[in-house]
Structure 1
């Protein structure tokens, strides 16, 4: 999710499409759960610790945990910081309009059946997830 959001931000800034790498997060993130997912604030901190993310062409995706092969000379997307917005829909909308994009997560475990499972594309060997990411 986060590498997709960074891709959107980079595409906005440099006006061209760049795919960021998920495999780097699977291999090099020391606090999240690789193919099992993670918590966005922790993932942002890990990307910052690593110095950024490589483009997909430079760090091929193989959908399994392996030794971290980070090449600092190929880092493309960097994070200077992140923050959590207030729980105020109007303030979030104003921030989004001014800065965009906005990343959010939803833990569907608490929705008691009101949220359908997403059928995935097999990324990391995961066919179904009970949480979702939204880029608004």
Structure 2
């Protein structure tokens, strides 16, 4: 299932059926066509009581982004910072998000599968729509 947050009605909508639904517990349900929307991530975290715990890392990610760490999932976003090293990577061509299941250590990928980050780091960087980063 793929969901998006409808801010006008303040409700979640199933993208396949168009019907309203409950807040997804799994943030991978926010992905659609290999992308995810920043507003949906923010709504998911806010409604779940998950605070933004981002802290800048001057060496890796110097500017502010987001990091939501719930009981079972972690979702974080970064701006395109790797263009020189990996010019064709998702993370080099626009802001991306990473969705991780903290129970089993698997990352959600752009193709809708789960796997370790190291097995496919490019697909673990999901293009992020609606981000000002």
Give your verdict on TM over 0.5: no
Relative to its length, the structure with more helix (as a share) is 1
Of structures 1 and 2, the larger Rg is shown by 1
Q: Which has the higher contact order (CA 8 A, sep 6+)?
A: 1
Give the TM bin, normalised by the shorter chain: under 0.3
Relative to its length, the structure with more strand (as a share) is 2
TM-score normalised to the size of structure 1? 0.23
TM-score normalised to the size of structure 2? 0.24
